Structure 1
Amino acid sequence: MAAATADGSAASIRYGVAKVVEEEAHAAGGTFAPSALRAAHEVVSQFLLVCADDCAAFSKHAKRQTITHDDVELVVRNSPSALAAVREAVESSKKGRTERAAKRKAAAGAAQASAAVRRRGAGTPSSAGASSVAPDTPRSFGGGAGEAGESSELDDADLLALV
């Protein structure tokens, strides 16, 4: 258990074991003695250390430096329920990654489309007298085009004066 204590994960393991034990005791209508809880924590800690060593050995045998879900499946291959839980977790993780990737892709597509619209509106020359002003922006005030040299559009000072 020295490795678990050394990296600070002992408290997390203890908490997780306590929660599982509490749920199981509640479901069974009983309680666990504190000594039984400590023993369960020790068993889980030792099991995790053995699993970590085995996973490292399997990845090394496969000439990999990264431990993958395949290595974990090999560790629990003799326990059908544990194997099913590992496979379910892997599928859930893949599904979540796929959904997150789809959301990122959709967001990136929307951002590209909006950037293209902005580029198209700001970068192209006006055609056939069209203004670069947005269509819903008022272009003139009072209905007349004004005299030569006069601007028929309101500037910020004029708008503030109206308010």
Structure 2
Amino acid sequence: MADQIDEEARERLKAALWFSIGKIVDEESIKRNRNATPQFIGALADLVWSQIENVAIDLESFSRHANRTTVTTADVLLLARRNQDLHSIIKDIVDKEKARKLRNKAKGKGKA
């Protein structure tokens, strides 16, 4: 029963991904005065789904290796380590968020 529910959820997610990618491709096709076949959209959706699965497996593995049950930003940064530009963007976002939390924490202590 649980396997059937998981499979149904998986199929709904894949359908939602296919739909979203189809909308994006349609918008870009209109902008560029091009056409994209349903086969192209399906192949692109399958490719993206594969990448999502690989990323999820890697993130879970990194988290498990660190004896954690939760994926953290450290795991995401580790995943992005081979793409320096992506790593820099993510690192900047993480650093800004940490600084914001520290400022908010300091403001809270100042009032007490």
TM-score bracket, normalised by the shorter chain, equals 0.5 to 0.7
> Which deviations, in whole Å up to 9, do the C-alpha atoms of 1:51-71 show, x marking residues without a partner?
100000101111111011221
Q: Which residue of 1 aligns with 2:36?
A: 32
CA contact (8 A) 1:21 1:32 kept: yes
Cα distance change of structure 1 residues 38 and 82 upon mapping to structure 2, 3 Å threshold: farther
Q: Which has the higher contact order (CA 8 A, sep 6+)?
A: 2
Q: Over the residues paired in the alignment, what is the CA RMSD in angstroms?
A: 3.1
Answer with 1 or 2: which has the greater Rg. Answer: 1
Match of 1:55 among 56, 59, 63: 59
Distance in 1 of aligned mates of 2:49 and 2:20 = 11
Matched residues in 1 for 2:29 and 2:85: separation? Answer: 20
Going by fraction, where is helix more abundant, 1 or 2?
2
CA distance in 2, matches of 1:65, 1:39: 33
Identity percentage over the alignment? 26
> Does 2:56 align with 1:44?
no
State TM-score, norm by structure 2.
0.63
Which amino acid counterpart does residue 57 of structure 1 have in structure 2? S
1:24-47 per-position Cα deviation (integer Å, ceiling 9, x unaligned): 333433221110000000000011
- Give ranges in structure 1 of 5+ residues lacking alignment: 110-163
Counterpart residue identity of residue 48, structure 1 = I
1:11 has 2:36 as partner: no
Q: Which runs of 5+ in 2 are unaligned?
A: 1-5
Give the secondary structure class of the aligned counterpart of 1:66: coil
Separation (CA, whole Å) in 1 of partners of 2:33 and 2:87: 28
- Aligned equivalents of 2:77, 2:87: Cα separation in 1: 6
User: Does the residue aligned with 1:48 lie in a helix, a strand or coil?
Assistant: helix
Matched AA of 1:55? L
What amino acid sits opposite 1:30 in the alignment?
A: R
> Once the 2 structures are TM-superposed, how far is the Cα of residue 85 of structure 1 from its aligned partner?
5.1
Size of the alignment, in residue pairs? 98
